Amino acid sequence: MRLATLLTFILVFFTGASAQAQNNCKSEYTDFDLCSFSKDLADQMAANLPMRINKNMSIESINAIGRILQLNAVLTVNRKQLKETYDNAGKTFDDFRQMMTRSVDSFCVGENPVGSFIKLGGIVRYTYKFSDGEQFMVITKESCA
């Protein structure tokens, strides 16, 4: 009897989890499949990677994780070098973070397909690492307000 109860619980749990995952892919506003769009967008962008953004940064990889589109950027400097550069300019890491956040916010301007993805309920996550592999920061964009 216990085995039957356990098997029923497992079946209900995984069926519910599967339905939850499928519902999580649908936009709450339309029947649009955000997970599929995220995957398609990642596949299209991956063909152009690595992509130099400017002399100090490049996008090295992109992943689709459900409704999340994750871009992985690498700076050409390490933490010490960036700190020295910003100290010399009278700025801080917070200034850099704000600049990068504004850059991600720009997805929501105009007819950008990434902005449309966010407006429908998709999520864009930028991870930034230093040249030595140390994680610097993560910016997550979940809405275009």
Q: Show the CA angle centred on residue 31, arms to residues 26 and 32, nearest 5°.
A: 65
For the chain, how long is the longest CA-to-CA vector?
A: 72
Domain count, the chain: 1
Positive or negative CA dihedral for 112, 145, 27, 36?
positive
Q: Output the pLDDT for position 128.
A: 95
Mapping DSSP onto H, E and C, the string for 21-38 reads HHHHHECCCCCCEHHHHH
Mean pLDDT for all residues in the chain: 84
Domain range enclosing 7: 2-141
Least confident of 11-15, 28-32, 93-97, 138-142: 11-15
Q: What is the CATH number of the domain that holds 81?
A: 3.30.300.250
Q: Residue 37 in contact with residue 25, Cβ under 8 Å?
A: no
C-alpha distances out from residue 142 to 12, 45, 90, Å: 31, 20, 31
CA–CA gap between residue 134 and residue 31 (Å, rounded): 39
CA–CA gap between residue 84 and residue 112 (Å, rounded): 35
Give residue-wise pLDDT tens across range 55-88: 999 999 999 999 999 999 999 999 999 999 999 9
Question: Taking the complete model, does pTM exceed 0.75, yes or no?
Answer: yes
Backbone angles phi, psi at 16, to 5 degrees: -65, -40
Q: Output the pLDDT for position 16.
A: 41
Q: Residue 26 in contact with residue 33, Cβ under 8 Å?
A: yes
Per-residue pLDDT band for 7 (boundaries 50, 70, 90) equals very low
